[in-house]
Amino acid sequence: MLRFFPAHKEPDRNKNFFQNYSDHLNYLQVKFQKIWDDFQEKATFDQKLDFIGEQALERLTCILSESPGKCLPLSPD
């Protein structure tokens, strides 16, 4: 879907809750689409399993860190 405005990670004071929530979901969709595309490019089952392991380790490290709210979304950025 074509979007005229970039997805935002932070809320906009001039928008209501639903508009900001929609922007946030769009932001997450873009970020996780990149991760999904990277996963799909893996050729073998072992490569895909390694990729899943790396993603899980990143998330666990984030959860156990001092500021878990600042971790999402994770790679591939």
pLDDT in tens, 43-59: 999 999 999 999 899 88
pLDDT at 77: 47
Q: What pLDDT is stored for residue 39 in this prediction?
A: 94
Cα angle 5-2-28, degrees, rounded to a multiple of 5? 65
User: What pLDDT was estimated at residue 2?
Assistant: 54
- pLDDT reported for residue 28: 86
pTM: 0.58
**Ranges of the chain with pLDDT below 50:** 77
pLDDT of residue 22: 86
Contacts 24+ apart (CB under 8 A), 47-51: none
